[in-house]
A and B are shown apart, each in its own frame.
Chain A
C-alpha cells in the first residue's frame, strides 16, 4: 500500500475490516520505509474507512510503527476516527499507548513542523493533565495559539462559541516522541520503568549516558518501577550494584519499587542493599511522603564530581543557545527581550528572592547544561499560557517551567543538529528557590547572560 504524503505527513488509508491477518497484508515495513525516505516526518494510518478493527489488527501496525519510530525519530500513530474508535483504541492498549492519536489529519498537521498555516487559534482538551500540557507545548512550538480547557465542562462551554477558534482538538493523544527510558515526576525524581526478565541485556537497553548526564545535571533520586519484573539474574544484579555504587559518589539514591522476590534469590536484595539500593513496596511510599522525598535527595544536590569549565565549543554555540531560549520565552510571555550583559564567570544572582529556576543538560558531541533563572512573575506569565489561567500554585508553576525548559532544550538540540552537532537532552530539573540551584552550580564557571523582559530581569547560564 502506498501512503499519501502531504505537509510531510505520510498517511496510509486501509479500508474495510482490520484484523491480524488483513493488517499484515495491507501494509508492510517496506511501504513505511519508502514513505520515510520521501521525507515524511510523521507516519499515520487513517481509520476513516475502517469499519471494524481489533487489537491484533492494530498491533500489526503498532509493531511496525515502533521500528520506524526508533530508527527515524518520527511521530507515528493513527488518525481520522470518531469517539467510539478512539475509546476502543485506548481500551485495547490500556495506559500503554506508545503511539500518537490524532482525531483528524488536519489536527495531525498542526503538530508537523512544515505546516504552512501558522498562528491558528486552537481550543484543546484532554482528560489527562500531562497530555494537555504536552499538546499545548507542541502547538506553541509550532507557532500556534493554544487555549487549554481544564475540564470537560469548560471545554464544552468554550467550544459552543461559534467562530471563536480555528480548530478544536479533543480525543487526541501524543505518544512517545523521543526519549523513552524515563519519566519525570514532581519532586525532581526520575522514574525508570522496567519489565519482564532482567538479565545481561539490561546493559544494552538501559541508557547509561542519559543516566550519567541526569546525575551531572543534579538529579539525585532515581526510582526503578519494577512491578512488572518477573525475575532478575546475576548479570542484572551486577549491573544494578554498580549503578547504585556509582550513584553514591554523587550522593544520589536509587530505589526499587514493587520488586517481588518470588523468582529472584532473596540474597540479591541484600547484595543490592549493601551497594546502597533502597526497596519500597509502593510508589506512593516515596512520592506521597514529602519528608522522605527531601531526605532522599530529590531537592538537594551536592555535586561532588566533574567541576568542568566552559570550553571554546560551547562559547561558539552560545548565540544559538540564547536564541533558542529567548524566542521560546518571548513566545510564551508575549514580550520582547533585551540583552543586558554577558560575562564568563561563576553564576551570580543579585536578588535571590522570588525567583525560581530550572536546568536541562545535553550530551553527545558536546556536553553542557543550561540554567534559567526566572522571576516568579515571568514564570507565572509563561505558565498562564500553558495552563490556560493564572495560578498561584507553586508546584504547578514549577511543573510548567520544567516543560518550558524542555522546549528550550528541544530547540537547542535542533539548532545544533543544523550545525551537524548531535546531542541528546536530559529531563528538565526545577528549583523552587536559589539555594538548590546554587548547590548544583557552585564552583562551576560558565557564561552568564542577563536579559530583560519588559521590566523583569531574567538570567541565562550555560556551563558544563
Chain B
C-alpha cells in the first residue's frame, strides 16, 4: 500500500513538473495542523491503528476508516467493531504497531510519554492524529472530520445525536429539570464510589457529557474527591439528596458488593428503587458510547415521576 501511495505521489509530482493540470491526479496526502504541529496525512488512509479503544476506535468506526488494530482494552459490546480487526497488545507495543505498517494512528493526548498513550513516540512510525479527553466528543469528532476532510459526515453524526437527545429531553422534561442525579461506579476492593461528574481529574467523562446535553443536574465535583471518590462513610452526605442513580457495572462484581453495603441501602434513591444499572465501562468514548449512555439516562429518568 505504501508503495502504491509513493508511486501516486511520484506521478503527481512528475505531472506537476511537466506542467500538467493539478486536477489530473487526486492528492495522495493532506496537510493538517494539529497539536503536534503541521502533518502530512494520507488523503485516504488505508491502514489505521486506534491506540485507545474508547475515543479513537469509536471515531475510526464513525468515519469508516480501515482499521488494522486497536489497543488499551477490548471493545465494549455497543461498539460495532468488524470481526477481523485485532485487539493489539495493551499497553501498546510499538514494534507490533510498526509491523502492521499503519499509515495513520489515532491516539489520545492524555499522557504523551506514557506506556498507554505514547503520543510522543508514535510519530516515528507514521502520522498521528490526537484526541483530547478534556473537550466534548462532538468537538473531537468534528476536529477529526476536518483533518480527514469528512466534515459533512461529522456534522451528520452530531446532528443525529442531537435529535436523539432532544427526543429524550422532550420525554422527561419535568424529571430532568427537577432532579439531582449521579452516575457512579463502585470499587469493591477499596469499598468506595467513583462519581462520574464533570470537573474531576478524569476530565470530561461521557456520563457527565451526555447528562449535560440532556440538561440534567449532577452531583457537583466539589463534593467529591479529586478523582470523584466518595468513601462509604460519606455516602449519606454526598448522595443523600440525589433523586436517582445510574450505576455503571464494570463487570467486576461492583453492584453485587454494593448491594451488601448498609449505607448504600439507606440512600433515599436506592430505597425508592431509582437506580438504573448500565453494563460496561462507559466512562470514556465517542458517539457510540454517547448513544449508549443517552439510552441509559433515558431509562433512569423514566424511573422518576414525570
Partners in one complex: no
**A residues with CB within 8 A of B:** none
